Amino acid sequence: MSIFTKSATELAAMIRAREVSSRELLDGYLDRVERLNPPINAVITLDAERARVAAGAADATTPTGPLHGVPTTIKDAIATEGLRSTGGAVELRDHVPGADAPSVAALKAAGAIVFGKTNLPRWSADIESFNELFGTTNNPWDVTRIPGGSSGGAGAAVAAGLTSFELGTDIGGSVRLPAHFNGVFGLKPSFGVINQRGYLDHVDGGTIDVDINVFGPLARSADDLSMLLDVLAERPLPDARPIERVGVWFDHPSCAVASDYRALLTAAADRLSDSGVKVEEAHPPVDFDEQVRLFSNMVLAAMSPAYPPEVADAISGTHHQWLRNQMERSRLQAIWADWFATYDLLLCPVTACAAPTHKQGEFAQRTLEIDGVQRSYLELVAWTGLIGVLGLPSAVPPIGRTPDGLPVGVQCVGPFLGDRTCIAAARLLGTYEVPPGFE
């Protein structure tokens, strides 16, 4: 394995041991971006000179923070000081923030060297990663397929070894889908654990928290997720609980799961069972369709500022409707909390299938074929929306590849603030592989 596809944890340890310098790593990543990025178009803005100065300064000092000297990129929806940050929107084509988003500042305080930004859809509002400014990002495992969204450039860059790790955002699956489609590890933390200010989801965005939305890391190991959570979390989190009893919820009539992916989900559950964990087909007593419908209603309201005023008013509903939705969410959160008093984790799909081929245009009109049946593209965010609307943590490890050679993952879902338990499960289940051609 190339040094550039090692985990961020390993790279940080090598820098501390003086086995490699920050400048050597940075120059290596910049070289890889120049050579390997064009076919996938994951990294779209560079800040090489300032990064070289910062890397040189890191090499001249004694390593302190856990990310000392580690080069990284940041999703272009997150404000980064002195570095063009557009949210994928032409309205912000020349936007250069004067200050870092708090989460970016936390990474830098831990020693990370930010050297670039990664691609995304306009205002992070798609699971394809394309926009007018920077074009389309492709999946490093197969460039005819999507890398997911909205943190698609982030997921592709981590998978291809163009960066050490990434900071993405997730409102409908935007960390979890790219982790799944690109074969890397991702964490959607519990809502409110990581500061999400500086999120560029509309002009003048980033000044308030957005409902459902979280910031979360993408990386090449579960150890990386754990270290990055330590750096980014703004509230104490309990230790991982022992994983002794796990429920699995792998299918539902409203969201068919492709048979090749379903087989890999079953194999992952079997590995847990073989290790001594009690694994059962069980899930909280909630209605899948009703909970996904609640997600659809609430995420539209949360994303409405990105739309023209007349559209935003129509899709966001009234404050009374939001209060009713909030009461329903609270009721469902209590049901899930009760269930997690008995079960340590829930395993469920990330989405319906491995990475589909590119389909752009009107989102609601897109379809995909699953086991010979045409299905709505909206089904790709059903399983992620089911979890996200309740603010629960979910770690996604890569669990294998389909017969077509495409990676897939599984959602390891825990109780609210059970982020470390989710990461512990990801450590048991997941292994990163380098896509062919990026070794």
Please tell me whether residues 251 and 211 are part of one structural domain.
no
> Which of these three, 170, 198, 232, is where a domain ends?
232
Find the mean pLDDT for residues 291-320: 94
pLDDT digit string, tens, across residues 65-113: 999 999 999 999 999 999 999 999 999 999 999 999 999 999 999 999 9
Q: Which domain holds residue 140?
A: 3-232
200 occurs within a structural domain: yes
Are 91 and 165 part of one and the same domain? yes
Catalytic residue among 85, 124, 151, 174: 174
Q: Is residue 357 part of a domain?
A: yes
pLDDT tens by residue, 179-209: 999 999 999 999 999 999 999 999 999 999 9
Mean pLDDT of 136-150: 98
The residue from 200, 232, 264 where one domain ends is 232
pLDDT of residue 345: 98
Question: Is the residue at 45 inside a domain?
Answer: yes
Residue 239 placed within a domain? no
Residue 240 lies in a domain: no
Does residue 237 sit within a domain? no
Does the pLDDT at position 218 exceed 80? yes
Is pLDDT at 20 greater than 90 in this prediction?
A: yes
pLDDT at residue number 256: 87
Asked if 286 and 425 sit in the same domain, the reply is yes
Answer yes or no: do 128 and 228 share one domain: yes
With a cut of 90, say whether residue 1 has pLDDT above it: no
Q: What is the mean pLDDT of the chain?
A: 97
Q: What is the pLDDT of residue 337?
A: 98
Q: Is residue 437 part of a domain?
A: no
Confidence at residue 310, expressed as pLDDT on a 0 to 100 scale: 87
Are 204 and 87 in a shared domain? yes
* 101 & 127 share domain: yes
Residues 328 and 381 in one domain: yes
Mean pLDDT, residues 307-327:
93
User: Which CATH number covers residue 121?
Assistant: 3.90.1300.10
Per the residue annotation, which of 75, 108, 117, 188 is the catalytic one? 75
Q: Report the number of distinct structural domains present in the chain.
A: 2
Last residue of a domain, one of 172, 204, 232: 232
Q: What is the pLDDT of residues 36-58, one digit of tens each?
A: 999 999 999 999 999 999 999 99
- Give the pLDDT of residue 150: 98
Q: pLDDT tens across 327-384, in order?
A: 999 999 999 999 999 999 999 999 999 999 999 998 889 999 999 999 999 999 999 9
SS (H, E, C) the chain: CCHHHCCHHHHHHHHHCCCCCHHHHHHHHHHHHHHHCCCCCCEEEECHHHHHHHHHHHHCCCCCCCCCCCEEEEECCECECCECCCCCCHHHCCCCCCCCCHHHHHHHHCCCEEEEEECCCHHHCCCCCEECCCEECCECCECCECCCCCCHHHHHHHHCCCCCCEEEEECCCCCHHHHHHHCCEEEECCCCCECCCCECCCCCCCCCCCCCCEEEEEECCHHHHHHHHHHHECCCCCCCCCCCEEEECCCECCECCCHHHHHHHHHHHHHHHHCCCEEEECCCCCCHHHHHHHHHHHHHHHHHHHCCHHHHHHHHCCHHHHHHHHHHHHHHHHHHHHHCCCCCEEEEECCCCCCCECCCCCHHHCEEEECCEEEEHHHHHHHHHHHHCCCCCEEECEEEECCCCCEEEEEEECCCCCHHHHHHHHHHHCCCCCCCCCC
Catalytic residue among 7, 85, 150, 221: 150
Q: Are residues 162 and 310 in the same domain?
A: no
The answer to whether residues 228 and 280 belong to one domain is no
In this prediction, residue 364 carries a pLDDT of: 86
Same domain? 198 vs 305:
no
Does 174 participate in catalysis according to the annotation? yes
Q: Does residue 199 lie in a domain region?
A: yes
125 and 190 part of one domain: yes
pLDDT, position 109: 98
Q: Are residues 54 and 181 in the same domain?
A: yes
